[in-house]
Structure 1
Amino acid sequence: MTSATPVTPFGARLRAAMDSRGPLCVGIDPHAALLTSWGLNDDVTGLETFSRTVVEALADSVAVFKPQAAFFERFGSRGIAVLERTVADARAAGTLVVMDAKRGDIGSTMAAYAETFLSPGSPLFSDALTVSPYLGYGSLAPAVDLARRSGAGLFVLALTSNPEGAEVQRAVRSDGRSIGATMLAHLAAENEGAEPMGSFGAVVGATLGDLSSFDLDINGPLLAPGIGAQGATAADLPAVFGAAVANVVPNVSRGVLGHGPDAAALRAAASGFAAEIRAAVPSA
């Protein structure tokens, strides 16, 4: 019996995509106001047109898509079917997919979430999944284990861009280390020895200013929301992320999507952000 071909880990695939296409991640966030601004109805037909247009316009040029699951789930089973097609079409075109679902639970429930998004046989199988560790980092073990087996990755909420996150993430433990710093340390341990980059990343907001008090060198990717509509710019990245900036995956959603539905305008917007990132981060 021949053994199965080893799956290239997410971290290695992401590094290759970032090196060849640049590190830009474009969110696919079909919220009602955006559908309306595109001249689409806030229904499943509008959802499908929106998602298909974004993928067709950008799949050959951006490294990563990040669909926000909630905007598909609100339409029930038909919305989930659109999400399945969006993921399949993006991956077939060679773009990595990070499913933004922020799942977090314990035991068999966490295992079921992991199977939904990280099992190769699932219709929603994605290259990586965002997860919440705030039932304790150990609660993520089923997702960590399945990601390792399937060659997928995780992005753990560590230092998020929303102001409310600070009350949990900046809280200090009895050992003097903040919760956010603890999550980063767990991820560094997961990625130890991985080359060229580990598969277990952190979500760290680009709007947070100087983060020099945190050790962001986790040998893994740092998904950085906040560029564009939230006020951060590509020029802010080196100051925020310091020596870890080469592993940053800047996420832009409204800043690109707001230029639709014209495909050329979407491509121009994404290209503009990519150029700004390359100018700010020479290794990008």
Structure 2
Amino acid sequence: MIPPLTPFGDRLSATFAAYGQLCVGIDPHGSLLDSWGLDDSADGAREFGLRVVDACAGRVGIVKPQVAFYERHGSGGYAALERVLAEARDADLLVIADAKRGDIGSSLAGYGEAWLTPGSPLEADAMTLAAYQGLGSIEPVLKQAELAGKGAFVLAATSNPEAVAIQRSVLQQSSRAGSTVAGAIVSGVIGWNQFQADAAGRAFGSVGVVIGATVDLAASGIDVDGEPPRPGLPVLAPGFGHQGAEPAEFRRIFRAFAGGTIVTESRSILGAGPDGIADAIARRVDLVGAAGA
């Protein structure tokens, strides 16, 4: 049996200290591949991902490959993704696989084995999860993550307008009756982190949430005022840059959760092209660092 690694939350804390809180998305969709002079194919997606990894190494600490843009190329796309994941981890980047998996029982455990098992072809440091069937349904993956020193990010409040009706729905029958769905997920994840055996000694829990930077947090029932949770709550926050949120505003937006916020940008950085991406990353790192000072 492979021994447990350093908890993901501890590695996230170390990454923040070394490189700051910026995360670069790796999203090889067709228009970007074209602008980079690459074919819209598995080979193009692989080359794109490797170039992004090379630009990120030594400049930023976290990358987030969007699995869907590789899946669309079938088996060749998965082979390309495996290579990108391996190269990113070899470059000492913290890798979050944006897979958004959700199911129940053994099916969900299988997803966890695929993305969070040390030595797996698709091994990442963390993955994104959907808990439509309730937080209890993803418990197998959360346990797998803790045992392997990995992380997980649970969708809580996304910025797409179609999600509002569900995410802001008020629970009627549960231990968190009266909470919104989004608020209950955030509270449940905080509780999960607090009940881990070594919680008191952790800067951050190993399970976090996904909250869009353009979301109306108050309307979604997410309380970001008051004291930060202990251990800190990792927040994967897409929506900066191209989608409208300003990286310099991340502390104002997330307040009590700002210390654990992963400021995620994709197209606004990737759009700089292969010749400009390194400079774009450096500028964003400085901007996010200044905002967090």
- TM-score bracket for this pair, using the shorter chain length: over 0.9
What SS does structure 2 have at the residue aligned with 1:191?
A: helix
Tell me, in whole angstroms, the C-alpha distance in 2 between the residues paired with 1:165 and 1:198.
26
What SS does structure 2 have at the residue aligned with 1:167?
A: helix
Which residue of 235, 241, 249 maps to 1:222? 235
Tell me, in whole angstroms, the C-alpha distance in 2 between the residues paired with 1:182 and 1:205.
16
Pairing of 1:1-284 with structure 2 (within 5 A): 6-174=4-172, 175-192=177-194, 193-194=199-200, 195-209=202-216, 211=218, 214-216=222-224, 217-218=228-229, 219-262=232-275, 265-282=276-293
| Structure 2 segments unaligned to the other structure (5+ residues) | none
Q: Deviations over 1:204-263 (max 9, x none)?
A: 11112454952344522101100011000013212211122111001000011001121x
Counterpart contact for 2:4–2:147, Cα < 8 Å: no
- Bigger mean CA offset, 32-41 vs 216-225: 216-225
What SS does structure 2 have at the residue aligned with 1:229?
A: helix
Q: CA RMSD in A?
A: 1.6
Letter in 1 for 2:92: G
Counterpart contact for 1:211–1:240, Cα < 8 Å: no
Counterpart contact for 1:169–1:178, Cα < 8 Å: yes
Counterpart contact for 1:155–1:201, Cα < 8 Å: yes
| Structure 1 segments unaligned to the other structure (5+ residues) | none
In structure 2, relative to structure 1, the CA distance for the partners of 1:279 and 1:146 (3 Å cut) is same
Tell me, in whole angstroms, the C-alpha distance in 1 between the residues paired with 2:255 and 2:49.
34
Q: Deviations over 1:95-143 (max 9, x none)?
A: 0000000000011110111111011131111100000011111110110
Tell me, in whole angstroms, the C-alpha distance in 2 between the residues paired with 1:274 and 1:209.
25
Aligned-residue sequence identity (percent) comes to: 45
Q: CA deviation at 1:6?
A: 4.2
Q: Deviations over 1:150-201 (max 9, x none)?
A: 0000000001122222111111112211001100111111111251111000
Tell me, in whole angstroms, the C-alpha distance in 2 between the residues paired with 1:24 and 1:267.
14
Letter in 2 for 1:92: D
In structure 2, relative to structure 1, the CA distance for the partners of 1:186 and 1:49 (3 Å cut) is same
Tell me, in whole angstroms, the C-alpha distance in 2 between the residues paired with 1:138 and 1:124.
25
Tell me, in whole angstroms, the C-alpha distance in 1 between the residues paired with 2:255 and 2:267.
26
TM-score in terms of structure 2 length: 0.91
Letter in 2 for 1:46: G
Q: CA deviation at 1:90?
A: 0.5
Count of residues paired in the alignment: 278
Letter in 1 for 2:158: T
Tell me, in whole angstroms, the C-alpha distance in 1 between the residues paired with 2:171 and 2:137.
18
